[in-house]
Structure 1
Amino acid sequence: MRQRIKAFFTYALFWYGFFMLSRLGFMAYQWQFSKELNLEEWLLSCLHGSRLDFSMVGYFLLLPGLLLLLTSYTGGKWPARIISVYTCLLIPIISLLTIVDMELYSAWGFRLDTTPLKYEPEAWVGPSDTWTTIKLLLIGAALIGGSLWVYFQKVRPVFQAIKTDNWKSSLAFLLLTAAMILPIRGSLGMNPINSGFVYYHPNKLFANHAAVNMAWNLMYALTHMNKLSLPKDYFDQEKSQELFGQIYQEKGKTVKLLKNQRPNIIFIGLESFTARLIEVLGGEKGITPTLNQLAKEGVLFDNFYSNADRTEKGIVASLSSYPSHPTSAVIKYPTKTLHLPFLNKDLKKAGYNTALVFGHNMNYVNFRSYFKNAGFDVMVDMEDFDPSTYNSEWGVDDHYAFERLSEEIENLQEPFFTATWTVSSHEPFKVPMETVIEGSDVTSKFLNSAYYTDKSLGEFIERCKKQPWWDNTLVVITADHSVAFAIPGTFNSTDKGRFRIPLIMAGGALAVHDTLIHTYASQNDIASTILGQLDLPHEHYKFGRNVLTDQPNSYAFYTFINGFGILSDSFHIVYDNVGKQYIKKEGKVSQKAMDTGKAHLQMLFTDMDDLDKPSLHAEHQPEK
């Protein structure tokens, strides 16, 4: 009996040690975040994280526990063989997932779950140089090799030494194995354990993320995959609508920036163009001379933010004024996007001719169904270009895409609306240009690719300025999202710089120049703001508002995995939906502000759940 108990708890200790070592390795690898933690916080992350470690150990002990039950009749040799095979399968799998998680966190800012499975393999990790690859392989080899050595030298012999025993021993182990439900469930209360149980720090998100057991988190996500779960309502519907309505209630009169009400409109979304790239927004010098010049020629919004951190989320926010779901994306559901409002559709009703030039891979994350639902008159995608123009599997080199955009504009009657999103400043950052920013590291490659995109944009703008329609054209330039990993000074979801992007209005149709707008706004406000300039209805964009009024509501809402943030003139708050708490309260934060954030999230969840229920979204019915 003692031999079996020793084997059982030796195996439990082995896996607990593995998870604890993995946690410390994760924290060491993410030193840019963990260096902000003191020794006590390091220890508390390990201590609180032990709850999920014990839960995962409980799962791993189920098979060995049942095999130990049989050793009462067979001895330990052949059960030890089965447990060895079982362990030799688990160690490499968990180790490889561990090193993926280590690197993935740098780019995505959350622990490994099923999110990567929703994207093409190329999107699973951020860009990495040769040294990073070697480093990860060495860590993985050390973790696998070291774990196997410990198992075969210290753990397996304990199983092999087990002798046969009486039936009472097997009964005892049946009860012991059944008792694993306690650490697995992790709680004696009504609710079983979840990752929020180990969130202990009131404002340091990384400390909480470090406490999460990656293997447990992934397993939980896999078992809940494709479930669009809604949180418990924070308020009753009437209260939620009242708070939400105060955010988007338009006040005052529209401040007109245009010479006339029906300009041509060229919308351009720049891949990964964080504000840190742009000199006029306090960013890097010499990377974006075109954007710097356009900002002086037109209107620059210096407190503008992305809706989330992925291209597909930024596109939907910009074109449909629809916020990102914290654990999903509406673009994944074609029956829901069918009922979204679209800027191009509203402009088409006003007499505009519309075209989309999308150099990306249209088959990625349901782009095709979304843009088909949008109903552009002309739609050009990656497949309409010669393969020699492709910069990678992601899409077409930017200067080719801009050339095609110029061609399509020439075929459109005025007034026209065109939309395009660039791709070259996406990893692997390969551009058809002589290198300007030297260096083989990720930062240099990213800056060089951004320089190329800005250069391609500049060439396009110069072509436009030579056309007779330029004096009646508004150019709207923003980014699809910011980026966290490519420029030193990595930001996480609690830092406003993580989501800050440009919004520039330029073109001959502008009546003002060298104008700076300080109002806080986000991609969700683009459609309503443009329509407001044209005196066109925009009330159906319920998650956006016209920010160009003489009484603007300065407010920007963004989401990240299982959380959201709100920025305004006076405060910045960040809410973690796993820990069920505000993890950042900066500035003059009132209870109403915090309630408003929750109401905003509640309205988003409710609305997204109702999107494919036509009776509730009659105003967005697809055209017959």
Structure 2
Amino acid sequence: MNIYKERISQIFSPFLSIIINLFLVYICFFVCRLSFLLVNLSYYPDLTASHLLEMFGGGLLFDTSAILYTNALYILLMLFPLHYKETASYQKFIKGLFVVTNAVIIIMNLMDTVYFQYTNRRTTASVFSQFKHEDNLGGIVGIELLHNWYLVLLAALLIVGLYKFYRKPSTAFDSRLWVYYISRTAILAAVVPFCIFGMRGGIGYAVRPITISNANQYVNRPIETAIVLNTPFSIFRTIGKKPFTNPHYFADIAELEQIYTPVHQPADSAKLRKMNVVVLIMESFGKEYFGALNKDLENGQYKGYTPFLDSLVHQSLTFEYSFANGRSSIDGMPSILSGIPKFLESFFLTPASLNNLSSIGSELKKEGYYTAFFHGAQNGSMGFEAYARTVGYTDYFGRTEYNNDADFDGRWAIWDEEFLQFMADKLSTFQQPFSVGLFSASSHHPYVIPDRYKGVFADGPLEIHKCVRYTDNALRLFFEKVSKEPWFKNTLFVITADHTNQTDHPEYQTELGVYSVPIIFYTPNGDLVGHVNSIAQQADIMPTVLGYLGYEKPYVAFGNDLIHTPIDKRYAVSYTNGVYQFVKGNYFMQFDGTKTTAIYDFVNDRLLTKNLKDRIPEQAGMETELKALIQQYMQRMEENRLVVK
């Protein structure tokens, strides 16, 4: 009897070892998810124990898929029926493979614990394209490791745990080789289908492989999908995926065009006035940091961190509800300069970025404008130079053209103050009229300022506040300098942010609040002044600039002319965690591509606590308009129709 038990134990030893070792990985994923939640708890103020249990339970489905994808080779090599491999040295190799591959996915999960604070979603495969041109990531990662030492320690403990508690199978096997091969082949044949089912997320022909959008069935809000998902799964499932497909909501193209079209036609009375245009895209300058745009915050006592820009706001055209169309820097440029919001994936990183494109620069270039773009980082960083040139900016001024690394911040770019002064000098040499863009850099993680300003611009409640104060002062010095130039009074300035960043107030931590950025139009002649109680978005900037100048040609932009479009027709769009977000009137709607999942009166319910789905008459009209906008977007991306020919 004992010999039979021993033989059975030998047969099933590799299988049992796999089960135990994969269970260790499940424990690691649970710990990673728990640490993610604890670090980012401020984004989830209304969690209940029952809902948290539901999300953690749903997370097992995605963990299983990620773990099996990661360990597929390990499982195959453990079970493959070849008796020559039953040696101690082979098992050492298998153990090394197991520990290294799972160490990588543990690190990926823990890195997203921090990176989530900038994107509000799990990282996807687009991250590899996003940072492929960066040559300073080593330094940035090094700093992050120091700042988040507790996560580094946790990663080390988990990886050591995998190594220590790893179970090795017995290398002994039945001397009768026919028993060995039949039994091991049978076990492998039985295990493979279950691995496939686990990778797909279910059993049966009717079950489609799960994707990141399936996480929405376990959540109340899209931002909660980051709790359900894990980073390896999000990356695996988005590798090589085509981002844009026509949803075919409307078969009748005429009906579609009537409901919504992104083609802007000039007014019959349009007559171009050749003013200069300067668009300033301020890194991470969330609307929350402005005292003048938050007069009701902290019972009216809030001062903010932008004294210069606050003074400029009172001489400018601004909007009560102004939003970004994306959550990363590479989403900002297409939205602001070309009127292209971020849907599904960052436009920069999709094949559609090779389409024919227009922008403020390219449209004005047709009218004889000189165009240029400024960004103080290494040329090629984030793909900004490539995009600027693609959309019609003739010259690009970066760290190379600045040509003085004494003013390099050591991490990302030339300090904002010096680079803005460099830009001011350049502007005065340009032929008029000109259309120029700038992307600032200093208000960026890891949140440092020049040594000479330490103690001058003190920390606020958040690390970024001193950087915002520093860059606000750099803008003051820039405007002080250019205001003395003859071209200044004939210039339209636009000031906005690429996206939001660290937040200190719950109003700015909701699914809508994390998109709140300033949108400011300033003309020294005082032509554009006032604070309008309406919606505005980054994609409105191009139509508004061209509309204000009286541009006489048609163009494509997924936004509104904020000067000539009635307030009740204005809207804002965004996309997060598999859900489209649509703001119009008093309402903020979330739509998963098929149905509305939530709708809130964001004006009177700023924390988005009361879901009004199916309870307001405006919902049907908002759904129809959003569907038309999505279909126009997808069709035009697929068919390369982002310019008017």
Q: TM-score, normalised by structure 2?
A: 0.82
Question: Which of 434, 448, 453 pairs up with 1:434?
Answer: 453
1:217 aligns with 2:234: yes
Report the equivalent of 2:193. 179
* Deviation (angstroms), 1:276: 0.6
* Deviation (angstroms), 1:546: 1.2
* Deviation (angstroms), 1:286: 4.6
* Deviation (angstroms), 1:548: 0.9
Question: Which of 87, 94, 110 pairs up with 1:83?
Answer: 94
Whether the 8 Å CA contact 2:578–2:592 is kept in 1: the answer is yes
Report the Cα distance in structure 2 between the residues aligned to 1:9 and 1:373, rounded to whole angstroms.
52
Percentage of pairs with the same residue:
20
* Deviation (angstroms), 1:581: 5.3
- Counterparts of 1:149-548 in structure 2, within 5 Å, are 149-151=164-166, 155-156=167-168, 159=170, 166-167=179-180, 168-180=182-194, 181-187=196-202, 188-190=204-206, 191-201=208-218, 203-221=220-238, 224-225=239-240, 227-230=242-245, 232-236=247-251, 238=253, 241-242=256-257, 245=260, 261-282=273-294, 285-330=303-348, 336=354, 339-376=356-393, 378-385=395-402, 386-432=404-450, 433-435=452-454, 436-439=456-459, 444-483=462-501, 485=502, 487=504, 489=506, 495-511=511-527, 513=529, 515-537=530-552, 539-548=554-563
SS in 2 for 1:200: helix
* Deviation (angstroms), 1:397: 1.6
Structure 1: where are the runs of 5+ without partners? none
Aligned pair in 2 of structure 1 residues 240, 606: CA closer, same or farther (>3 Å)?
farther
1:115 aligns with 2:126: yes
Deviations 1:180-217 (A, max 9, x none): 32323333134223333343235223443222243333
Whether the 8 Å CA contact 1:253–1:549 is kept in 2: the answer is no
Whether the 8 Å CA contact 2:358–2:643 is kept in 1: the answer is no
Report the Cα distance in structure 2 between the residues aligned to 1:61 and 1:330, rounded to whole angstroms.
32
Report the equivalent of 2:42. 32
Whether the 8 Å CA contact 1:289–1:454 is kept in 2: the answer is yes
Report the Cα distance in structure 1 between the residues aligned to 2:163 and 2:187, rounded to whole angstroms.
26
SS in 1 for 2:217: coil
Letter in structure 1 aligned against 2:387:
Y
Aligned pair in 2 of structure 1 residues 231, 352: CA closer, same or farther (>3 Å)?
closer
Report the Cα distance in structure 2 between the residues aligned to 1:517 and 1:171, rounded to whole angstroms.
72
Report the Cα distance in structure 2 between the residues aligned to 1:512 and 1:218, rounded to whole angstroms.
45
Report the equivalent of 1:93. 104
SS in 1 for 2:377: coil
Report the Cα distance in structure 1 between the residues aligned to 2:173 and 2:63, rounded to whole angstroms.
27
1:19 aligns with 2:18: no
Report the Cα distance in structure 1 between the residues aligned to 2:387 and 2:137, rounded to whole angstroms.
20
Q: CA-atom RMSD, angstroms?
A: 3.5
Whether the 8 Å CA contact 2:358–2:392 is kept in 1: the answer is no
SS in 1 for 2:527: coil
Deviations 1:59-109 (A, max 9, x none): 426643553453889868566444323322233222222221222222222
Report the equivalent of 1:559. 575
Question: Which of 145, 158, 161 pairs up with 2:160?
Answer: 145
* Deviation (angstroms), 1:388: 1.6
Report the Cα distance in structure 2 between the residues aligned to 1:114 and 1:193, rounded to whole angstroms.
16
Report the Cα distance in structure 1 between the residues aligned to 2:224 and 2:372, rounded to whole angstroms.
47
Report the Cα distance in structure 2 between the residues aligned to 1:522 and 1:607, rounded to whole angstroms.
20
1:602 aligns with 2:602: no
Aligned pair in 2 of structure 1 residues 291, 141: CA closer, same or farther (>3 Å)?
same
Report the equivalent of 2:644. 619
Report the Cα distance in structure 1 between the residues aligned to 2:596 and 2:54, rounded to whole angstroms.
19
Report the Cα distance in structure 1 between the residues aligned to 2:281 and 2:341, rounded to whole angstroms.
17
Letter in structure 1 aligned against 2:570:
S
SS in 2 for 1:396: coil
Aligned pair in 2 of structure 1 residues 162, 212: CA closer, same or farther (>3 Å)?
farther
1:134 aligns with 2:149: yes
1:105 aligns with 2:121: no
Whether the 8 Å CA contact 1:76–1:162 is kept in 2: the answer is no
* Deviation (angstroms), 1:288: 0.9
Report the Cα distance in structure 2 between the residues aligned to 1:126 and 1:360, rounded to whole angstroms.
17
Deviations 1:315-371 (A, max 9, x none): 22222222224213247659725x212212332333444443332333023322322
Whether the 8 Å CA contact 1:317–1:323 is kept in 2: the answer is yes
Whether the 8 Å CA contact 1:253–1:550 is kept in 2: the answer is no
Report the Cα distance in structure 2 between the residues aligned to 1:379 and 1:51, rounded to whole angstroms.
47
Q: TM-score, normalised by structure 1?
A: 0.85
Aligned pair in 2 of structure 1 residues 411, 489: CA closer, same or farther (>3 Å)?
same
Report the Cα distance in structure 2 between the residues aligned to 1:610 and 1:511, rounded to whole angstroms.
39
Whether the 8 Å CA contact 1:306–1:501 is kept in 2: the answer is yes
Report the Cα distance in structure 2 between the residues aligned to 1:8 and 1:335, rounded to whole angstroms.
44
Report the Cα distance in structure 1 between the residues aligned to 2:189 and 2:249, rounded to whole angstroms.
42
SS in 1 for 2:237: helix
Report the equivalent of 1:586. 600
Whether the 8 Å CA contact 1:474–1:505 is kept in 2: the answer is yes
Deviations 1:107-148 (A, max 9, x none): 222223223212336679899777742111111122112232
Deviations 1:444-472 (A, max 9, x none): 44111111111111122222333344433
* Deviation (angstroms), 1:562: 4.0
Letter in structure 1 aligned against 2:110:
I
Letter in structure 2 aligned against 1:185:
R
SS in 1 for 2:438: strand
